[in-house]
Chain A
Amino acid sequence: MDQYIACHDCDLLHTARSLPVGRIALCSRCGAVLYRHKRNPLDRTLALALTGLILFILANSFPFLAIKQAGLSQQTTLISGIIELYHEKLYLVSLLVLLTTLVVPFLELCTLLYIFLPLRLGVQPKYLAVSWRCLSKLRSWSLMEVFMLAILVAMVKLAGMATIVPGVSVFAFAALIFILAAACTAIDPTLIWAALEESWRR
């Protein structure tokens, strides 16, 4: 049944044909994306994932905001915010923030590297099926772009009360969001399906 593909939103069967580079196949009935043919999918995804990892380390090593008022100043990293929530006994909320802004994006980057580094080198990653499945689950819980919006809201909120100084980390964070989104759109799923096929035939 390799030549057919079912739409994941409406279940209609389509004949899978090879596409020109850069084109997307849409479901004829509901318009969902069936598959796409990307230019240089391995190189691009890998390059973007590596960039993302560097930005992730930058974003979490420096304070992202500093506040100054009447000679007093206070700065914060992402982790210090989570620790502060934990001290206020909001365990559930601090865990959720920890997962969605730190752990999940980090795992997402690691999974991308785990899948695409071996594939680029022509080797099959050992747990390809599991990691590919995890990647799609992780993506829906990686909420860094929402966090970025929150930084902007917090800056405006405090602007009247004190002086706010954005740190290095804010810019790294902003760049990371675009890089991660680009990495995810650079993926060519058909490539993974084919790799899965090979690992099964072996």
Chain B
Amino acid sequence: MASLTAKQAGLASCHVCKLLTPLAQLAARRGHCPRCGSLVHQRKTDSLNRCWALIIASAILYLPANLLPMTHTAHLGKIQEDTIISGVIYFLSTGSWPIALVIFIASIFVPLLKLFILAALLISVHRGSRWRPVDRTRLYRMTELVGRWSMVDIYVVTILVALVKLGALADIEAGAAAPFFALMVVLTMFAAMAFDPRLIWDQMEDPRDSSNE
């Protein structure tokens, strides 16, 4: 058992209780784990297609999320509409660059980076690439970890909307971008969950591909 994967050994690992079950025994139980009763799959079902669909949908939502205004601010009679980028520029101009950096990284940079990384991983799996599997797995873990932080802008808007109700002095309302942005973040999180990193490693075991690269 020096370097054998569960798949090569004809086993499927339960993602809930980690029990390894031979495929034949699993089929007899209609795919349910004999230890905990969860449905067991050798690989996430339809991982590549689901991941592509979610990435494409989020990429489309990324446009309205960044082009439409996120907030409407009325302050001392002036009405101002802010997109995410104009908010970042505003913070830079007023000198609070740490906040500008947080918003830029969480709302603009991370979602885009995540879409590119996931797309690159998917393409590498489609092409049967054997290039640096450890690093590709690390990249995947990173996308899973950082995705949640993109929600920060939605929460900022929630807090501002609730807090700033000072009558004629100041008022903040959420803009049209908010639902697009929220949905985009949720879909990228689902996309990361849909990807199965074991597909990266399946290429390493396939002896037919040893001549490639």
Contact = CB atoms under 8 A, between A and B. Distances in A.
Query: A and B bound?
Result: yes
B179 A69 contact: no
Contacts of B158: 81-82, 84-85, 93-94, 97, 150
B5 A85 contact: no
B149 interface: yes
Interface string A145-183: 011011101101110111000000000000000000000
Nearest to B150: A146
Interface stretch (B10-18, B52-60, B117-125): B10-18
A97 B155 contact: yes
B33 to A, nearest CB: 8
Contacts of B28: none
B159 A150 contact: yes
Interface residues of B, number: 71
Contacts of A2: 19
B166 A67 contact: yes
A57 interface: no
A96 B150 CA distance: 13
B51 interface: no
Contacts of A192: 17
B193 A197 contact: no
Contact of B96 (A146, A151, A156): A156
Nearest to A148: B155
A153 B179 contact: no
9 contacts: A6-B6, A10-B137, A13-B9, A30-B197, A93-B182, A140-B148, A143-B148, A153-B152, A162-B166
Given A12-B3, A157-B160, 19 more contacts: A1-B22, A6-B6, A6-B13, A11-B201, A13-B5, A67-B166, A76-B162, A90-B174, A92-B183, A93-B158, A93-B182, A96-B182, A97-B155, A101-B155, A132-B16, A143-B148, A150-B158, A156-B99, A196-B17
